[in-house]
Structures are given as C-alpha cells and as structure tokens.
Amino acid sequence: MAAKLRILVVDDEESIRDLLAIGLGHRGFEIKTAADAQEALEQIGAFSPHAAIVDIMMPGDDGFQLARRLRQDPNLYILMLTARDAVSDRVQGLDDGADDYLIKPFDFDELVARINAGLRRIHTNETRVWEFQEIRMDDVSHRVTAHGALIQLTAKEYELLRYLLLNPGRVLSKNQILQHVWGYDFPGDDNLVEVHISSVRDKIHDRAKSLIQTVRGFGYRLGD
C-alpha cells in the first residue's frame, strides 16, 4: 500500500481546521493541524508534509511570514487559503512563496483538485534533498553524506538531523526535539537528546561543535 500524502493545515479558526482535517482525511490524505505559525514550524520536522494549507490572518506571525519560512523546502506545495481577496494580497502571497491562492469561502472539490495538481507538478520527479554546509540529506533514498562521504545513521539519528536541517539557524529546545523526533513530550529525559546529538556530531565530523551548536540554557542550533 502506498504511503499517504501528508498535509499540514494552518488556520487559527478551529472550525476550518476540523473541516479540512475531516474532509481531506476522507480523501486519503494524512492530516495534521496547527493554530498558528509557531505551532506549524514546530510540527514540520517530525511530520515532513508534502503540502501546507496556510491562512493569512493569524495571531503572531501571519501567513505571509510563514510562507517565507516554509519555502526553504522547495518540494513543499504551499496553498494560501484566506478570506483576503485583494489582488495585492494574492501577489504578495505568491511572491512570498505560495504555489497557489484560494479565497474563502471555497469549494471543497476545487481545493482538492488544486492540491492534487500542485502535488503532481512538484513531485512528478520528486527530490527531497536538504543541504547545509558540508551536510547533504536525500530524504527519498535516505542517504546522508558529510564532507562527501556516506555516513550511517540510526533511525532516530536520521530524524534528529533532518529536524535540524529543516530548521537552520533556529534554536530548538530539548523538549521540542523530544516531541518531534520521538513523538512525545518527556522533558525529564534530557540525556536522551544529548546522547543522540553527540552521536550525530561524531558521525558528521563535528567534534568542534561548530555545526550543531549548543545554546546553553536553551537547546541546540544548526549553524549560526
């Protein structure tokens, strides 16, 4: 059985999140939801969605700002779903990284058609590759190289490194790493994260801790 395509729905209206989660779930997609940009970014690493449906008007960072962050992954299909229908808003959304723009209220069949078309266009010859300095990860073949040499990672080490690669320059707390790599929140077990960070550093030849940096009192960061 083929793996389900994953969609992240980001909207501050619970009714919209529930509608999309139920409707898209019935169409065969795997869905996770977020109420704002911060929650969306916290979910990206572990969920690794193929598509994101993003509202513009949200508390905190708006959808335009979120789209710019999400666009770091060139293989992610981003659809703006919003009540803002001005041409200037559409232009800004597309300029900020969205692949498509749909106005609320919307026809659900049209939404699904746009998602399917966008995913076909992006993933026909899918390559999900992330690079940072001397690190390269191919998420299709699950091959990771450091300084041009192939390295072997355990499943959790791989997920940990992918989470860091998806969030370059961002400080990730140990609690966030536990939640998004191990799938649960267990703040008492700091040693679990420390051991895996240390192992990944060794395997990617980062013994100087200049690539995966420790931010004392906060967590870890990939690069400056």
pLDDT at position 135 = 93
Considering the entire predicted model, what is its pTM? 0.57
Parts of the chain belonging to CATH 3.40.50.2300: 6-123
pLDDT at position 65 = 93
Q: Give 83-108 pLDDT, tens digit per residue.
A: 988 888 888 888 888 888 999 988 99
Parts of the chain belonging to CATH 1.10.10.10: 129-222
| Residue 32 CA to its chain's centroid (Å) | 11
DSSP assignment of 130-194, as one string? EEETTEEEETTTTEEEETTEEE---HHHHHHHHHHHTSTT--B-HHHHIIIIISS--TT-HHHHH
User: 129-222 in CATH: which number?
Assistant: 1.10.10.10
Ranges under pLDDT 70 in the chain: 1-3, 122-127, 183-190
Instruction: Please name every residue paired with 150 in a beta bridge, in sequence order, or none if there are none.
Output: 145
Q: How far apart are CA 8 and CA 223, in angstroms?
A: 26
User: 6-123 in CATH: which number?
Assistant: 3.40.50.2300
pLDDT at position 155 = 79
Alpha helical stretches, state H, the chain = 14-26, 37-47, 63-70, 87-95, 108-123, 155-165, 174-177, 190-203
pLDDT at position 123 = 61
Q: How far apart are CA 53 and CA 102, in angstroms?
A: 10
Calculate the alpha carbon distances from 83 to 58, 89, 107, 108, 187 in Å: 12, 10, 13, 15, 39
Give me 28's structure tokens: 């065969």
Instruction: Please name every residue paired with 76 in a beta bridge, in sequence order, or none if there are none.
Output: none
Calculate the alpha carbon distances from 212 to 61, 98, 148, 170 in Å: 26, 30, 18, 11
pLDDT at position 12 = 95
